[in-house]
Amino acid sequence: MEFQVLENGGVCSAKGYRAAGVTAGLKVSGQPDLAMVVSDAPAVVAAAFTSNLFAAAPVEWDRKIVRGELPVRAIVVNSGVANACTGTQGAQDARAMAAYTAEKIGCLPEEVLVSSTGVIGRQLPMDVIRHGIDLATEALSADASQDAARAIMTTDTVEKRVAVSLEIGGKTVTIGAMTKGAGMIAPQMVLCNNRPKQATMLAYFTTDAKISRTALQEALSRALGCSFNRIVVDGDTSTNDTMVVLANGLAENAEIHRETPELDAFAAALEYCAQTLAKAMVMDGEGVSKFVELRVFGAMDDASARQIAEAIARSPLCKTAWYGEDPNWGRILCAAGYSKVPLKPTQVDLDFDDVPVVRSGLAAPGSSEAQMAAVLKKRSFQVRLCVGAGPGRCVLWTCDLTHDYVKINADYHT
């Protein structure tokens, strides 16, 4: 490992970042609901957003900013209301959030990224938002990584943040991050760049690295593919998913460019942070009692492996069996069988951790149900499905479906 994990890190760990987390009054619970992150220096930005066609108003605002290739100074985030399916009013409100923040911290509206998370279809109460921005601006501090991480939570039960530092060209570069998300989690985010392409989990990374825009995009893209884009809690892909990396250059390293060892080192550190947060998100997923690392391999190609893995990760029968610590492996094969990927039952092997479960499509000889059940009693285990001799593989981090999931989601809105 070419980097060091920092204790108690977060979005304020890197040089030149201040943050705040305040209670504007959006949540009935009275919990913190507005976060702000400000970079003292203009920051290069790379970002990825949801592929949902009902992308929320703040996502649309952010895409415009990110494609504009101008530096970014701040991020303002509210929880409680998603500002999705809110039309022209929603677009105006997203812009107004940026503009009001810009006015307070002294920059242009186009230098402020905006995120929202919460109930879809409601308009933002802008007086409450402005009140929150007032409070946040006053509270800005280089010691508020925890406050900010708390203020972006919705059904999350723990705040999630991480930071690492590494040496690049004799300079210490730091990456800090925070994320939220427990339900409506099956991100399929797409890198936002000049070629318009198009993930409610939110993830914010701040670094003091000096790095080119394209190198930052490359690092984000690598990290995204093996972190947030490989998690499935409930299989619902949100309208607001957002991953943003800001790089303000205050570490004063020689600028990092593509296809260099320095980028590899930086990308590896970013990837570590993203993976740590993505796993934490699944562990803290709504009602989750089991963390499952699902590995599908031997498929024709990676896309086929992914399609099989998604069928299993989304199957209510597989997920409830994990919750029940029930080695009912037929449900896993069944899900693979309806995934619409061609496969031969006789070529299928399945393992729970180190216990063979299925060999050549049949119950593995010599393994008892008690052995299988023992694996499932663990809080975290691996499910490995081999579907043939092909090169295609996929790893998904997923979870069980529990009574608490139903409770949380039958009662969330009203």
3-state helix, strand, coil in the chain (%, to 5): 35, 30, 40
CA distance 353 to 336: 19
Per residue, the 3-state secondary structure of 140-182, as one string, reads CECCCHHHHHHHCCCCCCCCEEEEEEEEECCEEEEEEEEEECC
Among 42, 109, 330, 356, binds its own copies (CB under 8 A): 330
Among 239, 242, 304, 398, binds its own copies (CB under 8 A): 239
CA dihedral 102, 50, 228, 380 (to 10 degrees): 120
| Residue 121 contacts its own copies per CB under 8 A | yes
Q: Phi and psi dihedrals of 137, rounded to 5?
A: -60, -45
Helix (H, G, I), strand (E, B) or coil at 393: strand
| Residue 29 contacts its own copies per CB under 8 A | no
CB of 62 to its own copies, least distance (A): 17
Pairing state of beta strands 291-299 and 392-399? Answer: antiparallel
CB of 235 to its own copies, least distance (A): 7
Residues 175-204 within binding reach of its own copies (CB under 8 A): 183-184, 186, 188
**Sequence-separated (6 or more) residues with CB below 8 Å from residue 264:** none
Span between the terminal Cα atoms of the chain, in Å: 47
In this structure, what DSSP letter does residue 58 have?
Answer: H
Residues 299-318 within binding reach of its own copies (CB under 8 A): 314-317
CB of 370 to its own copies, least distance (A): 10
CA distance 69 to 375: 49
Pick the stretch among 11-19, 131-139, 296-304, 361-369 that binds its own copies (CB under 8 A).
Answer: 361-369
Q: Contact, 284 vs 276, CB < 8 A? A: no
Relative orientation angle of helices 87-105 and 126-139, to the nearest 10 degrees: 20
CA dihedral 208, 213, 215, 219 (to 10 degrees): 70
Pick the stretch among 6-14, 94-102, 275-283, 396-404 that binds its own copies (CB under 8 A).
Answer: 396-404
The mark string for 282-301 relative to its own copies (x by CB under 8 A, - otherwise) is --------------------
Tokens of 39: 């970079």
Closest to its own copies by CB, 68 vs 342, is 342
For the chain, give the number of residues: 414
| Residue 321 contacts its own copies per CB under 8 A | yes
CA distance 411 to 234: 16
Among 30, 87, 106, 196, binds its own copies (CB under 8 A): 87
Among 65, 140, 267, 343, binds its own copies (CB under 8 A): 343
CB of 311 to its own copies, least distance (A): 9
Closest to its own copies by CB, 43 vs 358, is 358
Closest to its own copies by CB, 226 vs 362, is 362
Q: Contact, 332 vs 295, CB < 8 A? A: no
For 73-140, give the DSSP string.
EEEEEEEEE---S-HHHHHHHHHHHHHHHHHHHTS-GGGEEEEEEEETT----HHHHHHHHHHHHHH-
CB of 229 to its own copies, least distance (A): 13
In this structure, what DSSP letter does residue 320 have?
Answer: H
> Residues in contact with its own copies, total (CB under 8 A)?
67
CA distance 248 to 16: 8
| Residue 85 contacts its own copies per CB under 8 A | yes
Among 32, 181, 249, 327, binds its own copies (CB under 8 A): 327
| Residue 200 among the catalytic residues | yes
Set 154, 200, 242, 398: catalytic member: 200
Closest to its own copies by CB, 232 vs 273, is 232
Closest to its own copies by CB, 261 vs 316, is 316
| Residue 331 contacts its own copies per CB under 8 A | yes
| Residue 238 contacts its own copies per CB under 8 A | yes
- Give the CA angle between residues 356, 359, 363 to the nearest 5°: 80
The mark string for 41-80 relative to its own copies (x by CB under 8 A, - otherwise) is ----------xxxxx-------------------------
| Residue 403 contacts its own copies per CB under 8 A | yes
| Residue 406 contacts its own copies per CB under 8 A | yes
Residues identified as active-site: 200
Chain contacts with its own copies (rule: CB under 8 A): 51-55, 82, 84-87, 119-122, 183-184, 186, 188, 234-239, 314-317, 320-321, 323-324, 326-331, 333-338, 342-343, 345-346, 358, 360-363, 369, 373, 401-403, 405-407, 409-414
